[in-house]
């Protein structure tokens, strides 16, 4: 699952909070700032777990900072170990 978040999502701890939320789910992936001001989340896991993870991100207090989110689904590549913040 790839999600592109826009709004007031950079410089407010969005990536850190997303990583904290990830610890409660069986997901792997990365979260990073993009040059255009958005934040990109790429996560792999079971479908239901990913959907719950995404919901938990919004409910963690980050929902008020998100103006829009674009969700893109594709097959997992099994390329991640753990969940990390990347530059």
Helix, strand, coil percentages in the chain from 3-state DSSP, rounded to 5: 30, 30, 35
Determine which one of 32, 33, 58, 77 is catalytic. Answer: 33
The encoded tokens of residue 46 equal 């079971």
Q: Residue 27: which residues within 8 A CB-CB, separation 6 or more? A: 43, 44, 45, 49, 50, 53, 83
Which residue is catalytic, options 15, 38, 77, 81?
A: 15
Angle at 36 between CA 66 and CA 58, to 5 degrees: 15
Active site residue 51: no
Q: Is 15 a catalytic residue?
A: yes
Catalytic residues: 15, 33
């Amino acid at each position: 699952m790839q999600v592109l978040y826009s709004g007031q999502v950079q410089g407010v701890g969005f990536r850190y909070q997303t990583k904290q939320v990830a610890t409660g789910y069986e997901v792997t992936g990365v979260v990073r700032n993009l040059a255009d001001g958005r934040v990109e989340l790429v996560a792999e896991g079971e479908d239901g777990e990913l959907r719950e993870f995404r919901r938990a991100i919004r409910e963690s207090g980050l929902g008020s900072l998100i103006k829009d989110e674009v969700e893109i689904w594709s097959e997992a590549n099994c390329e991640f170990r753990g969940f990390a913040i990347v530059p």
